[in-house]
Amino acid sequence: MTRPHIVVVGGGIVGSAVARRLTLSTPRPEVTLVEKEMATGRHQTSRNSGVVHAGLYYAPGSAKAALSREGVRRLRRYCADRGLPYDEVGKLVVALDEAEDEGLRTIEARARTNGVPGLRRLEPGELREVEPHVVGLAALHSPTTAITDFALVAAALLADAASAGAVVVTGFEVTGLDHRGTRVEVRAADGRRLVADRVVLAGGLHADRLARLAGDGPSPSIVPFRGEYHRLVPSAEHLVRGLVYPVPDPHYPFLGVHLTRRVDGSVLLGPNAVLATAREGYRRRDVDLDVVRELVWSRGFLRFARANLRTGVHEVLGSLSRHAFVQRVRRYVPEIGDADVVPAAAGVRAQAMDRDGALVEDFRFSRVGSVLCIRNAPSPAATASLAIADLVVDRLDLG
């Protein structure tokens, strides 16, 4: 009996997890993963803060809530089995005033409903016992929130898949997905072609473009936001033990500038969130005119921009002025000065937006014939990648 051929498009952590999970299926299909870059994991997978999210923020009952909790359990075990870094440094979500304290209590209620273990509400003195240099009115402590290196995790997942027979093809930029009855022809820019029984699109920053190639609708579209990071100089790294987060603005989709210890001992500050003018726009000068035109002509984006103008201006000021950026950080760790902070690499978040300008908050999947489209998989997708892979493979109906 001929084995079904499954093509996974996208070599980030989600695509790598799906490829690995497919090789564990019985009967095992033929698996090919294609990636447009010459190496895998080049974008969101390797350009992030490395936080394994415990599930504090997500709406109870959402896919994010369920998959992040299962993902943490699976990822912790996987890292232990493969000898990968996984350090439960803990997270503090810090409220600076009474208004933020109300938001903190909402987060605590969500986190407890989601089953996040070990939560403690801390008053100022208790807060200092966890993070001696941090100030605040109150904090929520999640001791099991961890850090890892998601690029290493993704590489291990893909190595597992390859050792089980999966084929990895780099430099394969998908430009066509043509349905041929129950099969799909996957075409590359250089003329190469693959014929698949099923296709999984895990394209991240290009999720909407790939979905449209498969015949799916234009919504949600991907709006790229650049997250700009700084880091502490080595002499100031002792000021942060673990993870220090603000209470997020409920009207804005991002968590705000936070302080993150990494597995190499460095401490990242950020990210802020500014609109990127290219899907891989890691620098201000990176401009893709097609992306700019899409944004200008999008009624939904213009509606979003008007609603978030004040916050957007605030983010741009933090982008243009290191002093302004540091002032935000100093609200939580007053001992940090301008001289303690230097630039670090930026990342770009693939934020899905519906036609009406509403940002898609949960994971979203769609199906077009034999093609399964992962339309929205932002943070905590890396945390949840192993659980997402199970869900995807179940939806492929391999029989």
Distances (CA, A) of 321 to 229, 318, 351, 360: 12, 5, 25, 30
The secondary structure of 145-169, three-state, reads: CEEECHHHHHHHHHHHHHHCCCEEE
- The model's pLDDT over 154-203, given as tens digits with 9 standing for 90+, comes to 999 999 999 999 999 999 999 999 999 999 999 999 999 999 999 999 99
- Reading the block at residue 75, the tokens are 């990822």
Q: Annotate 41-53 with b (16+ C-beta within 10 A) or e (fewer).
A: bbbbbbbbbbbbb
Give the 3-state secondary structure of residue 29.
Answer: coil
Average pLDDT over residues 324-329: 91
- The model's pLDDT over 206-244, given as tens digits with 9 standing for 90+, comes to 999 999 999 999 999 999 999 999 999 999 999 999 999
Of 270 and 133, more confident? 133
Spell out the alpha helix ranges (H) of 43-97.
63-82
- Least Cα distance to 41 among 83, 74, 10 occurs for 10
Spell out the alpha helix ranges (H) of 39-149.
63-82, 98-113, 124-130
- The model's pLDDT over 65-95, given as tens digits with 9 standing for 90+, comes to 999 999 999 999 999 999 999 999 999 999 9
- Contacting residues for 126 by C-beta, under 8 A, at least 6 apart: 120, 139
- Contacting residues for 259 by C-beta, under 8 A, at least 6 apart: 240, 243, 244, 245, 267, 268, 269, 329, 332, 333
Using 50, 70 and 90 to split pLDDT, how confident is the model at 398? confident
352: left (phi over 0), alpha (psi -120 to 50) or beta: beta
Which domains does the chain carry?
A: 5-46+151-220+362-395 (3.50.50.60), 88-145+222-353 (3.30.9.10)
Give me the amino acid identity at 355.
Answer: R
Place of tokens 């952590």: 13
Using 50, 70 and 90 to split pLDDT, how confident is the model at 272? confident
Average pLDDT over residues 335-359: 95
pLDDT at 322: 86
pLDDT at 313: 66
